[in-house]
Amino acid sequence: MAIPRQLPNAITIARIPLAVIFFVLLLLGGTYGLPEPAMRWIAAILFIVGISTDWVDGYLARKYDIVSDFGKLWDPIADKLLTGAGFIGLAILGEVPWWIVVIILIREWGITVHRLMVASEHVVAAAWMGKIKTAFQAVALGWALLPLYVVIDLGPWTLITFVLMIIVLVLTVASGIDYIVAQVRGARRKS
């Protein structure tokens, strides 16, 4: 079965407006889904669907050999918009400490700005450590976004959320260091 060559890129681009809609619904849902638990559930489901498309577009591009420089560049950007909206929304709602979010966002957007700066020379695809970091961010954010306090007491749920965010923070910083080391090594090989 043939698929349109631009389908993976279209899926990637669809995550951008989805991130905005998700962010608005998350804020409308309120802290821990109060006063609007339905909005929080919808926001969480939108996030999970959106972040899952990251796997789908990559799978389709590799399976049908239609990997593109556009996809290599914009896929991580779309991911960062969606996860960034999740981190910022949770910080605004007071569910994740701002200091964690700020460190994560500095790393995320610093790498993204670097990718954009060197895009005319070469496209920097995501490395394995960055992919692990993104997968763990998706799981941790999915956990934090779902108003599971309905099923689990708020105390244990917030503790688990905090521990997951610390793990995400460590992976995010470590993958940022890995990226910088790889770029420095690459630059030394060229000179």
Contacts 24+ apart (CB under 8 A), 89-92: 89/23, 89/26, 89/27, 89/43, 90/26, 90/141, 90/144, 90/145, 92/27
Which pLDDT score, from 0 to 100, does residue 124 have? 67
pLDDT band, residue 162 (cuts 50/70/90): very high
Give the model confidence (pLDDT) of 87-115 as tens digits.
Answer: 999 999 999 999 999 999 999 999 888 87
Element housing 81 (H / E): helix 69-92
Lowest mean pLDDT, pick from 1-10, 54-63, 101-110, 156-165: 1-10
C-alpha to C-alpha distance for 129 and 121, rounded to whole angstroms:
23
* pTM confidence score: 0.89
| DSSP letters for 136-159 | HHHHHHHHHHS-GGGTS-HHHHHH
> What percentage of the chain exceeds 70 in pLDDT?
95
Cβ atoms of 85 and 23 within 8 Å: the answer is: yes
Cβ atoms of 79 and 115 within 8 Å: the answer is: no
Specify the CATH number of the domain 7-185: 1.20.120.1760
